[in-house]
Chain A
């Protein structure tokens, strides 16, 4: 009997009916109200607000493989969460008047590199928000940035920074923060990079770039040679609409976060679409202008669901 009532209560819960008699009976019988879930979603945290654990239009996320999750929002706050989405601490970017960051990555040694987009620099913090340093300045020359968007690290400790606007390129920096090289400034298959917003180095030590406004992924060797590209504008599998972020899964496939496509798409390295997850909406399992996605501990994927001001955790 109680199982039947619990099932009924579950139906009510799915229909988002609250306070019904059925739910009351179910609770009397000891049924836990079932979570409203969709396929693969194992957690949602955040919500609109300026309080701890809340977001005001979060735009970038990075997760340590065994540790915390960092999110930066359009309020200029970098917040740290446990893998289960429990708020741990936060810090503010030193300056936010011109604009707020759109990218950040955790270095394997625990430092947090934030692409301080509108101040044309990359700022380095420890995991508690203590400012350790920064590099880059506004300009078009070597070692200068025009709206940096993301950061990536290779196995040798070199740092890669993507930028757009007038530069639309990737710059490579030594582990001691010296400019090494810039690449991606020429046409690639007939088009220059246009707003590269996501960077990741895969296990084969090649650099993947989410070339957002060209709706494609570009693969570079670490010395800047173009290895291959794939993707085009569209909604079909294998196509993309403004890929804003890219991450590598433990099984070495590519996870692409599509800003306008409102979905995640997994690709093999030769460009085959393996899986698609999500669609536009407000409910769990749905996305609204997601800016970033990152693999975290235990194979979880953390998606920053920007216009829903939340992070969704999924197990693909």
Chain B
């Protein structure tokens, strides 16, 4: 069967629709709030070799990461000839191709006419996978064994039958087994929904048609991507940005350096200038680092693409093993998001030199994660996990946006009224932070301030944040944004809090104040239009 461009487009859209139906299935059937409300999951359809054809992802850090994982599994861990239609393989191991332990990914092959025509996959961030602290986000872990249960690539379901030993092993090692196993069930249901959609499609186009369509879809995306890269000027562009520290060695900043070479229609990214891997969990494996690089290049293109493995073919990366962007076992990696945020900042800094009219100054570059575990007089506990954000970097044509989820993550805040209705906490301020955006012809977006008061007799506070020392940079003469601050107010006395900490005890009446970074400015501040400057003053943005 020879397929024309019409059939290819119909099949391409049908694959996207299959990923969307898988996505709805996870949303409809998952148990934990992290999946359904933070939407921290992705679903994808792959060709028979594990290349991503279509994906439903809301979070950039998931882009192409499942494809990376699946190809690692096929290369090193699973005998594909022994992977049958009703076998579901799962793993969460960053050292087998994953990102960090809370993300469990499940894969299943799809067969038609006795041939493997595709794979389907689902990735979910699970609420807890055991380890040092509840939620499995230990800021002070120094090896991966403290970060939770590692699941090597294993058949969770074999020939359609549950591998009970594996289920029991997981159940025994985690804090909220009903939630995790419930979410795992929803991942499996989602795989079957995707497989059914693909089999439906295959009855129309045949196994040959599906395989041909997959190859052509990737080739078309590759061609479009190469054309877009071809429109960028050749050259090698370098940039360095810094993470403050790994939470263990507090005076040792972590260097993220990239050398981006654009040559004709391809791009190579050399990360050998990055710091060696660190003791604390601020490390990444290739699945994470590559996602940041791919995302940066996609953003820098002058036309939008549907993300698939074809788009990534013109992009090659090099990251030496044992570095912070390609950590060696058993380095802890749970805060890989921090590395990818800063790597994206560095990538943008380099790409700015190639396409200066397209790239904004640095966004806040960091997930401001903190957890309050309140303990009431009757010992009743409530847990609140907050993820805050800052301002976006100024763009050559526009001011940055105040308080917008940017870069490698994408999450909403939690309503103040909901928090106060459920936990003995009071939010005492929530406001934009005047002056936190970098100055420039275009002003950086503002960060924000949020302040919590503890109303319970006891509370344990955990934080993982960055950009308290190294500010988000400005570009083309624009100024940097303000750095963040975390402050404890007790009995009217303010004292700084460490931004990376586990289980700090707090008492009733204490207030925690977080100030987040804005985005960097773009262009010479002297060039700022007087009316824009006047408006900034009138609205109290500066």
| Binding partners A and B | no
- Chain A residues proximal to chain B, CB less than 8 Å: none
